[in-house]
Structure formats: C-alpha cells, structure tokens
Structure 1
Amino acid sequence: MKTAYAAVYDTWADWEIGHLLVELRTGRFTGVPWQVVTVGESREPVVTMGGLRVVPDLALADVEPDDGDLLVLAGSGLWDTGQGDTFAKLAQRFLDSGIPVAAICGATAGLARAGVLDERKHTSAAKEYLQATGYQGSDNYLDERAVVDGDLITAGPDAPVQFARATLQRLGLADERKLDAYEGVFHRADPAAYPILVG
C-alpha cells in the first residue's frame, strides 16, 4: 500500500487538504486506497484551525522520503509568521528524491521562502502573497486554481477540490473523465457528474 505523509502543525487548515486525504485513504473513486500517516515536528499533539486535536503518527526526524509516495502540506498561521522551515526542508528532500509534494495556501509561502518555487511553475493565494516572502520565482507564478510542475503540486486556499484533483492526476489515480466528474460533483455541484464519478 502506498503512503501519503500529511504534515501536521498547530493551526493547520483542516479543510484545505481534507478532500485529498479522504480520496487517498478511502480510494472510493480511484479503487486504490493509500495509507495516510501524519507527521509532526514531534509526537506532541497539535490543534488544527478547526480545533481538532491530532497526535502525529511520526516525528519529522523519523521520516525518510523513500519510505513514502507523497508529502502533503496544508496552510497554517505558522507559515505566515516565517515558521515551518523544517517542513520546507523536508519538502525539498522529497522533491530531490523524486517523490511528489502537494502544498496549498500558506505552505506555498513556506516553500517560496525556502527557494523551492524559484525554478518551478506554481500558484498560491496571490502573486503578491508570495512576493512578500522575497522569493525569486515570481516569473514562474501562474494565476490558476492548481498547478502541477513535475513532482510539485500547488494551490491557493480557495481551491481544495482542484488541489485534490491535481494531486490525484499527478499520482495517476484517475483519468481525465473521472477527475472532471470529481470536480463537477464537489466544486460545481453538477448532478450529471455523479454517475461518471461512481461508475
């Protein structure tokens, strides 16, 4: 079974990665369930932005990129205060090992500060949001809901469904027809998309 590492830290934005983690863990529309393993700075509990208390399965020091198949980074207040560099460094290690990294919202700012986005196409909440980090990658910024560039998937805070879709696409877990139906059901509330999604 493949493994997705989900980074957890205080005030991480539950909803931003919720769609993706559910689809990976259950495999309900892809037919391929994954193991989801939470990773914290330590094994001490963290509290999400929504107030859920999460006890990490693993500490950061115990994570090796080659043991996993994806790293997921959610937004959080910590990214906007210049923290999270240990997770950004972990993301760089994953990318260096050819393992995909999916980052949404504030996590993109953390990756920008660490130089991870300088040479890769990416998106975020807004171009100006990332420019405030002082990063050198603004020429590679795309004003899209989600962007895939090789092993890196990025999205802004308003695009959790597109973030899930783009990541599932990058992982090869569904074809375009099913991915479009997924977005149709969960973003556009299109009843005609449901039979395609579950078919």
Structure 2
Amino acid sequence: MYTIYVYVLDTLADWEIGYVTAELHSGRFFKKDAPRLSLKTVSDSKLPILTMGGLTIMPDCSIDDMVISETSVLVLPGADTWNDPKHGAIIEKAGEFLSLGATVCAICGATTALASFGLLDHRPHTSNGPGFLEMFSPGYKGQSFYIDRPSVADNNLITASSTGALPWAKQIIEHLGVFEANTLEAWYEYFRTGEPERFFALMQTLPHSRDH
C-alpha cells in the first residue's frame, strides 16, 4: 500500500495539488488491480493551516509521525511561505525519501526549498524557470540539470512549474501505476483540451464500460 503524504503550509496554492489529490483519493479512474493508497496531510505542527484560497486544513499528522519506505510518497505544493525556516524539517525529510527510494513530488515554490538544500543540484528537474531558482535559492547549483518543461520526472523525483499541475499529476499517477495506460492518456487529454469527445473516450477505458 502506498502512503501519500501531502505537506500543508499556510498560503498553499490550492490548484496545484487538486488533480493529484482528487484522483488519488477518489480512485474513480483506478484500474482493477491498482495498489491501495492512503492519503494523509502532514505539517510542521498540528495547528490548522490556511490555503491561498482561504480553506482551512487540519493536518492529519506531524513530520515525526511519517513512516518512510519505498511505497511512501511526499507531495510538496507551492506556497508563498516556503522561505520560513520551520519548513526545513520537511525538506530534510524529503532528502531521506529520495535516498531511500521513496518518491518526492514538488511543484512551484516547493522546488525552491529543494534547491536550497542542494537536492536539485545533480538531478533533472524543472521549476518556474532557472532564474526563479537562482533568485530564491542562492545556493542552487543545478542549472545544468534544469529542463524547461512544465513537469519533469526523474525516477523518484517529480518536479513542476506553477502552471504544470496537470502534467505533474499525470507523471505522479503514472509513477504509482494506479491507472491503465490508456485511461491515463485519455484522462490527460480530456482535462488538457476540454473536448467532450475526450470524456467519452475516457469512460470507454474504464473496466465497467468494457463489462457491457
């Protein structure tokens, strides 16, 4: 079973994790033999946080409660508060995740926190631009590994820009192997284009549609 830890912090950018959390929690498009998932919010304390959209989230657990194994996944959303030193604890934990073969998924501002700790210096990654990382992470030395795409997957590290939420979600879902390949492609194309026929194509890939 996979445990998905979603780090929550004040000013969390709601839209950046919406595709990921909705699909992984609901399982509505999962394949029949998909691995089971447990989704938990984690924070630096048990106090409620307020997202950028004004929603209050009460964390399920603290950083000390996290259990790391190869089936652990850490999701780091963007936020305007990543430069607060208290978030160093979760980035240290992210380093442990990567070392142990667990998965780290970071988007937008969270990539600056990884960059500040040197975690992007030797791995292919993306962000809101190499200049963005240099501006907010003075110690960043990963320029030669920067890839100018909305989302970049490098084995167990998946990074994205603030506008890469959809391809980021696709790469995370693909990494976890919870969708059939044709379902994932149809899902992505529907949300990417908004074309009604893509929705019907998506429905046709699901097990119940093949049973009739």
Determine what percentage of the aligned residue pairs are the same residue. 37
Cα distance change on mapping 1:118 and 1:175 into 2, 3 Å = farther
Q: Any residues of structure 2 matched to 1:111-122 within 5 Å, and which?
A: 111-122=114-125
Is residue 169 of structure 1 aligned with residue 174 of structure 2?
yes
- Return the match for 2:92 from 86, 89, 92: 89
Partner of 1:183: 188
SS in 2 for 1:144: coil
TM-score norm. by structure 1 comes to 0.93
Q: Any residues of structure 2 matched to 1:46-125 within 5 Å, and which?
A: 46-66=49-69, 69-80=72-83, 84-125=87-128
* Unpaired runs of at least 5, structure 1: none
Is residue 21 of structure 1 aligned with residue 13 of structure 2?
no
CA–CA distance in structure 1, aligned partners of residues 199 and 55 of structure 2: 30
* Unpaired runs of at least 5, structure 2: 206-212
TM-score norm. by structure 2 comes to 0.88
For each residue in 1:36-88, what CA deviation from the matched residue of structure 2 results, as whole angstroms up to 9, or x when unmatched? 10001011111111111111010111112128521100001112566622121
Segment drifting more, 77-86 vs 11-20: 77-86
Letter in 2 for 1:194: F
SS in 1 for 2:82: helix
SS in 2 for 1:56: coil
SS in 2 for 1:174: coil
CA–CA distance in structure 2, aligned partners of residues 26 and 190 of structure 1: 23
Is residue 12 of structure 1 aligned with residue 15 of structure 2?
no
Cα distance change on mapping 1:153 and 1:145 into 2, 3 Å = same
For each residue in 1:138-177, what CA deviation from the matched residue of structure 2 results, as whole angstroms up to 9, or x when unmatched? 1101011110001000000111111100111111223443
Letter in 2 for 1:19: Y
Cα distance change on mapping 1:173 and 1:40 into 2, 3 Å = same
Shift of 1:197: 2.0
Cα distance change on mapping 1:8 and 1:67 into 2, 3 Å = farther
For each residue in 1:74-115, what CA deviation from the matched residue of structure 2 results, as whole angstroms up to 9, or x when unmatched? 001112566622121111111111111111000001000011
SS in 1 for 2:106: strand
Is residue 149 of structure 1 aligned with residue 147 of structure 2?
no
- Return the match for 1:36 from 21, 34, 39: 39
Letter in 1 for 2:72: D
SS in 2 for 1:70: strand
| Contact preservation (8 Å) 2:106, 2:159 | yes
Alignment size in residue pairs:
199
CA–CA distance in structure 2, aligned partners of residues 157 and 188 of structure 1: 19
| Contact preservation (8 Å) 1:26, 1:34 | no
